[in-house]
Amino acid sequence: MQNQEKIIDMFNEIAPTYDKANKILSFGIDASWRSTACDLVLENFNSSLYITDVACGTGDMVLAWINSAKKANLTIKKITAIDPSVEMLKVAKAKIKGCEFIESMADNLKLESNTQDILSISYGIRNVVARKQALREFNRVLKIGGYLVVLEFTKRQKDGLIAKIRDFYLQKILPTIGGIISKNKEAYEYLPKSIDGFLDSNEFCAEIKNSGFEIVMVKGFSMDISTMFIAKKVKNI
């Protein structure tokens, strides 16, 4: 599924049940992945912040930024949530107050250049067809020294027992349960296919570097099911 509009339509269809399915399928552990990423990045700041979350979905990463900033006694001057899915944004708006929501693609953020301290995208970059253009767009809106935070399911190694267990869950169990909850099995069959069609960690790091960033940290979570990338903008491109 490489047509961007088809991907957006799929997320529109599963939006009403997305949070329920996500909590069941991830066993709730994805919240800790988001929290860890936010905590690590916010250690680098001591003043009010401009934060943008791209492909915000139902807003879980936005909530993670708000909660982590509160723990760190930091002020978020403005937080912006961007997603092309109208239905996902509806769910996010019902959950979060005090946030600006923008319906837009990742490669056209409708933000001024060099204005954001932090830009995040969690489990969304593999769904962006114009990925390289999106990374350049992230560079454009971030300040020099600003941070890019990506959480993603990267392409996996196929060897070993752990890999076999992980693949069995992603390819057999997840689509079945996700299909029952959402009444859209095809959407949850798309997940493992989209991971296999994405890059491995080294390949994605190379794309980030080519987009004007310096890699600060790469960390795998839960048998490398999820990978966190933290990068700093070092130049305008």
Tell me if 39 is assigned to a ligand binding site: no
Tell me if 80 is assigned to a ligand binding site: no
Q: Which two structure tokens, joined as six digits, stand for 229?
A: 């990338």
Element (H, E) at 227: strand 226-233
Contacts of residue 145, defined as CB under 8 A and 6 or more positions apart, other chains included, come to 232, 233
Residue at token pair 């690590």: 40
Strands 213-221 and 116-122: unpaired
62, 79 Cβ separation under 8 angstroms: yes
Tell me if 83 is assigned to a ligand binding site: yes
Cβ burial of 203 (10 Å; 0-12, 13-18, 19+) is exposed
Q: Which two structure tokens, joined as six digits, stand for 210?
A: 């080519």
Sign of CA dihedral 221, 149, 216, 75: negative
Which residues make up each annotated binding site for S-adenosyl-L-methionine? 58, 83, 122
Which residues make up each annotated binding site? 58, 83, 122
